[in-house]
Amino acid sequence: MKLALGPLLYYWPREATLSFYAAIADSPVDIVYLGETVCSRRHELRLPDWLEIAQVLRDAGKEVVLSSQVLVESESDLKTLRRIVQQSTDGFRVEANDMGAVRLLSHQTPRPAWVAGPTLNVFNPQTLGMLQDLGARRWVAAPEMSCAQISALRAALDTPLEVEVFAHGRLPLAYSARCFTARHFNLQKDSCGFRCLEFADGIPLNTREGEPFLTLNGIQTQSAQVHSLLGLLPEVQAAGVDILRISPQGQHTDTLLHLFRRVLDGALHPTEALASATPLLPAAPCNGFWRGDAGLTQHPALV
């Protein structure tokens, strides 16, 4: 299995972002997804900056994919989307995260190979087969899909393609026109003051009993718990998954990538790896979705 670094879901200051990706060049990751997928107001890095990082990572031997924004609303969002799609014929693969991106990619000549992102709501082989006809060569399963659902879909495809799962990180659960970070500070989205910059792992939301429940990340709502398949890697491998997506977190991403790599190399037991990883996470781990359960539950590995 290959390791992929998912797109950065948070909004970090420019220097922090640049130094994060500079270090990724030497990390044990095979694929890196780049670009802003959450909020069009975030512009510490603009497309030319992302392309510069892309070039450096490619020179370091990484496969680079440019991810498109999930919620596309304005004409200016569409303009950005078209510029990203343009890259698909100029050298970088694109991850399509809405059907507008799929349409634009399928209209490119020559038609590029692209990645069907996790927000396309692909749940059956009929839909995925159609996207394959339009150029999809890799599919990132929606995080809420279970092992059984992913295996069944994969087995039913006429033509195999690479299957990627969201293997580690706070779960991106929902998107809205509203910005919950701005709402928290009683600010309007249009004058949000870019408060997301202050929260490298988003803002924790607890129940009124003080239990961690969700994370506010601008217009995106994430889980509080950190979804991790690190302890379950043998069954993930057995399900036929080709690629594991690790979502960047504020600290220790590099250490987590190494832990995944060592388990894949057979140098570390998955249970030990999870034990080493747990103190490095911003919250407790969970893995319920993989077992077809509520996402916030944590199941032990199968013996």
Partner 1 sequence: MPAAPELVCPAGSLPALKTAIDHGADCVYLGFKDATNARNFSGLNFDEKSLHEGVAYAHRHGRKVLLALNTYPQTDNWPSWTRAVDRAAEAGMDAIILADPGLMAYARRTHPTLRLHLSVQGSATTHEAINFYHEHFGISRAVLPRVLSLAQVAQVIAQTPVEIEVFGFGGLCVMVEGRCALSAYATGESPNCQGACSPGKHVRWEQTPKGMETRLNGVLIDRFEAHERAGYPTLCKGRFEVNGASYYAIEEPTSLNTLELLPELARVGVKAIKIEGRQRSPAYVAQVTQVWRAALDQLARNPEGFRVDARWMSELNKVSEGQSHTLGAYHRPWK
Which residues in this chain contact partner 1 in the complex, by CB under 8 A?
A: 70-75, 77-78, 81, 98-104, 119, 121, 123-131, 142-144, 149, 152-153, 156, 171, 173-180, 182-184, 188-190, 203-211, 213-214, 216, 221, 223, 288-289, 292-296
Q: Which is nearer to partner 1, 55 or 207 (CB)?
A: 207
Shortest reach from residue 147's CB to partner 1, in Å: 13
Shortest reach from residue 150's CB to partner 1, in Å: 9
Shortest reach from residue 47's CB to partner 1, in Å: 18
Q: Which is nearer to partner 1, 21 or 180 (CB)?
A: 180
Q: Which is nearer to partner 1, 30 or 77 (CB)?
A: 77
Instruction: Say which residues have a Cβ less than 8 Å from residue 74's Cβ, sequence separation at least 6.
Output: 40
Shortest reach from residue 23's CB to partner 1, in Å: 30
User: Helix 253-264 crosses helix 270-277 at what angle (to 10 degrees)?
Assistant: 170
CB-based burial of residue 300 (10 Å sphere; 0-12 exposed, 13-18 middle, 19+ buried)?
exposed
Q: Which is nearer to partner 1, 35 or 117 (CB)?
A: 117
Amino acid at 140: V
Q: Which is nearer to partner 1, 211 or 265 (CB)?
A: 211
How far apart CA 257 and CA 263 sit, in angstroms, is 10
Classified as helix, coil or strand, 139 is strand
Shortest reach from residue 24's CB to partner 1, in Å: 28
How far apart CA 21 and CA 111 sit, in angstroms, is 29
Name beta bridge partners: 214.
205, 223
Write out the two tokens for 163. 């299957």
